């Protein structure tokens, strides 16, 4: 009887280990981190596989041509195959912009030696924010050339990118034209194929920590 009980207990232990192992595998698979795709201003997530046919006609950042703090022309081609973080600011901003720039430096520093990750900050007062002014601002804020591009150029193009391409404003449902000032703390994550993969509060360090994690997730899918 004792021998039978020992065998029975051993069988139960083996069964428990098998079930526990399977459960762990199922849990790992079901909690795999995957970032959604976004294609409009409500930022409704679309959970798509990277080879989904829906991505053939999905919203991507369009072509553009702007100039950075070093006088270099930056286009969509510059970002080809790169993961990048983007926001909108102006150098004379006394409010949210300095805080955003400080927080974005966390992103810069986290990926400083990673050529696959870039940052773009678009000036919403490009008539004032000339190349020399952007250069001075970059030096003051420890912005690394080649890693973080402060952009100026055609105002209409910048505002169209902000409102119609990156959807950075939160005033959903309100019609705005280029005469309305663009000012927002939102930061956008774009993947290596030009798809929007996240929106973050640039004033919140916890949000920046999440952004760093999401960039690492995208890198793991390269």
pLDDT in tens, 70-112: 999 999 999 999 999 999 999 999 989 999 999 999 999 999 9
pLDDT at residue number 32: 55
pLDDT at residue number 34: 84
pLDDT at residue number 181: 75
pLDDT at residue number 47: 96
Positions of the chain with pLDDT under 50:
1-7, 9-31
pLDDT at residue number 183: 87
pLDDT at residue number 17: 44
pLDDT at residue number 3: 46
**What is each CA distance from 76 to 1, 110, 134, in whole angstroms?**
77, 23, 20
Which residues contact residue 7 at a Cβ distance below 8 angstroms, ignoring those fewer than 6 apart?
none
Residue whose structure tokens are 């990277």: 50
Q: Which two tokens stand for residue 152?
A: 């100026």
Write the pLDDT tens digit of every residue in 31-53: 455 899 999 999 999 999 989 99
Q: How far apart are CA 150 and CA 27, in angstroms?
A: 43
pLDDT at residue number 149: 98
For residues 79 and 194, is the Cβ–Cβ distance under 8 A?
Answer: yes
């Amino acid at each position: 009887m004792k021998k039978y009980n020992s065998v029975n207990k051993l069988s139960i232990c083996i069964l428990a280990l098998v079930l526990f192992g399977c459960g762990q595998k199922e849990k790992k698979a079901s909690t795999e981190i995957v970032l959604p795709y976004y294609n409009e201003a409500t930022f409704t997530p679309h959970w798509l596989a990277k080879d989904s046919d829906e991505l053939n006609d999905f919203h991507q950042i369009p072509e553009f041509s702007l100039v950075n703090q070093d006088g270099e022309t930056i286009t969509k081609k510059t970002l080809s195959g790169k993961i990048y973080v983007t926001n909108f600011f102006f150098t004379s901003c006394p409010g949210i912009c300095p805080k955003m720039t400080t927080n974005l430096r966390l992103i810069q520093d986290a990926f400083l030696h990673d050529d696959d990750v870039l940052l773009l900050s678009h000036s919403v007062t490009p008539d004032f924010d000339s190349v020399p002014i952007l250069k001075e601002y970059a030096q003051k804020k420890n912005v690394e050339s080649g890693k973080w591009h402060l952009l100026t150029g055609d105002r209409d193009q910048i505002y169209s990118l902000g409102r119609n391409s990156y959807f950075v404003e939160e005033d959903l449902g309100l019609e705005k034209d280029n005469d309305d000032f663009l000012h927002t703390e939102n930061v956008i994550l774009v993947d290596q194929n030009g798809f929007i993969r996240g929106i973050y509060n640039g004033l919140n360090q916890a949000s920046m920590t999440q952004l760093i994690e999401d960039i690492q997730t995208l890198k793991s899918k390269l």
